């Protein structure tokens, strides 16, 4: 493992917006949440912590729920799952839909099971929207409409992200300004909500942590490398995924119905490989596929930094200034405090 200098107090950035928990005679159950950008080493860190404290890991990832998405999601191996129990891995077929409400229901069921066993839940992932939903509850919009969503998906493919984002901006400029044209899912969901309810998304009450915080003590950490280090790690991981058989995985999933699941087919890595399969597959096509895969992964990391800067419960831990083992010690020590 790469050597790092020990953590100093300055390497842990405390959020100024951390909420002060009210004193209560009831001891709340502790839940550890480890977030961070892609290619940071969250899986390895969570395994070290899980083995040390007798924890169980809840995967907070929209693609790891699918069977067969092992390489493209850097999913925990079978050996790692035997070392520390994992939840929300391989619970859906690739053609089956899975949204943030499904995630919330599944994650809450796993959370309850883990707590009943008197073990520590460790929520791990980089998907900001999913982690936010875990902490605060699902959005309070209407249930999804399958036929309407299919029509919106067709419009997205036909007219493109920019036009649909502009359409959203006309109906709800406040919400549209809070997302980008890269936020495919949010654009489609917003247009779906507006069509069903006739109301702006920005007018829908946001979920609150109040009910959960009465019973659970969330210890939330955002682990990261500075971008000049992180981007090299991202590119190395992309290369490793390709050499491990990412394209072969995509071809297999395509045969299983990957393209019938628009969200899965548009995830990073899978989208680029599917596009390559539609080209003459020249060396130039392949180089463009790899280049776009790495670019999309770097851009995703940028969005992860932006998202978690807005999350008040998270403390930031700079892994350039400490090893993963020391980071694990810091997190475990915090977890042991009242």
Task: Say how many domains are in the chain.
Answer: 2
- Going by pLDDT thresholds of 50, 70 and 90, the confidence category of residue 6 is very low
Cα gap 308→299, rounded to integer Å:
15
Residues 226 and 83 in one domain: yes
* 118 domain residue, yes or no: yes
The residue with tokens 């628009």 is 262
Rounded to the nearest 5°, which phi and psi values hold at 234? -65, -45
- Residue 59: which H helix or E strand, with range? strand 55-59
* 4 domain residue, yes or no: no
User: 236-265, pLDDT tens digit by residue?
Assistant: 999 999 999 999 999 999 999 999 998 999
User: 154-185, pLDDT tens digit by residue?
Assistant: 888 888 888 999 999 999 998 888 888 878 87
* 23 domain residue, yes or no: no
Residues 39 and 186 in one domain: no
* 177 domain residue, yes or no: yes
Cα gap 143→189, rounded to integer Å:
10
Tokens representing 140 are 């309070």
Burial 152-186 (b: 16+ CB within 10 A, else e): beeebeeeebeebbebbeebbeebbeebeeebbeb
Cα gap 196→95, rounded to integer Å:
25
Q: What is the pLDDT of residue 246?
A: 98
**CB within 8 A of 149, min separation 6: which ones?**
188, 192
Residues 186 and 172 in one domain: yes
Rounded to whole angstroms, what are the CA distances from 11 to 115, 128, 327? Answer: 31, 22, 10
Q: Specify the CATH number for the domain of residue 172.
A: 1.10.20.140
Q: Taking residues 140-145, report their average pLDDT.
A: 74
Q: What is the pLDDT of residue 20?
A: 46
Out of 174, 203, 232, pick the residue that ends a domain: 203
- Going by pLDDT thresholds of 50, 70 and 90, the confidence category of residue 11 is very low
User: 293-323, pLDDT tens digit by residue?
Assistant: 999 999 999 999 999 999 999 999 999 999 9
How many C-alpha atoms does 113 have within 13 Å on its Cβ side?
Answer: 13
């Amino acid at each position: 493992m790469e050597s790092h200098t020990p953590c100093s107090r300055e390497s842990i950035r405390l959020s100024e917006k951390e909420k002060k928990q009210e004193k209560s005679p009831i001891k709340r159950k502790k839940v550890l949440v480890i977030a961070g950008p892609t290619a940071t080493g969250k899986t390895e860190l969570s395994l070290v912590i899980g083995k040390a404290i007798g924890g169980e890991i809840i995967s907070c990832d929209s693609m790891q729920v699918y069977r067969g998405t092992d390489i493209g999601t850097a999913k925990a191996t079978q050996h790692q799952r035997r070392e520390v129990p994992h939840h929300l891995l391989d619970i859906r077929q690739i053609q089956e839909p899975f949204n943030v409400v499904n995630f919330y229901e599944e994650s809450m069921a796993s959370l309850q099971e883990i707590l009943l066993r008197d073990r520590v839940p460790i929520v791990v992932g980089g998907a900001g929207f999913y982690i936010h939903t875990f902490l605060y509850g699902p959005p309070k919009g209407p249930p999804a409409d399958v036929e309407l969503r299919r029509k919106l998906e067709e419009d997205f493919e036909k007219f493109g992200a920019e036009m649909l984002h502009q359409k959203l901006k006309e109906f709800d400029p406040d919400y549209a300004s809070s997302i980008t044209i890269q936020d495919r899912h949010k654009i489609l969901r917003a247009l779906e909500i507006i069509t069903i309810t006739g109301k702006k998304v920005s007018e829908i009450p946001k979920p609150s942590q109040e009910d959960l915080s009465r019973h659970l003590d969330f210890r939330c950490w955002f682990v990261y490398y500075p971008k000049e280090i992180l981007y090299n790690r991202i590119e190395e991981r992309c290369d490793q995924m390709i050499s491990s058989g990412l394209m072969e995985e995509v071809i297999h999933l395509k045969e299983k119905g990957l393209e019938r699941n628009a969200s899965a087919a548009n995830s990073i890595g899978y989208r680029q490989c599917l596009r390559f399969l539609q080209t003459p597959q020249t060396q130039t096509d392949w180089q463009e596929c790899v280049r776009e895969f790495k670019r999309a992964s770097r851009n995703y990391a940028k969005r992860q930094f932006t998202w978690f800067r807005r999350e008040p419960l998270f403390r930031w831990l700079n892994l350039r200034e400490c090893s993963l083992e020391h980071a694990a010690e810091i997190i475990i020590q915090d977890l042991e405090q009242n």
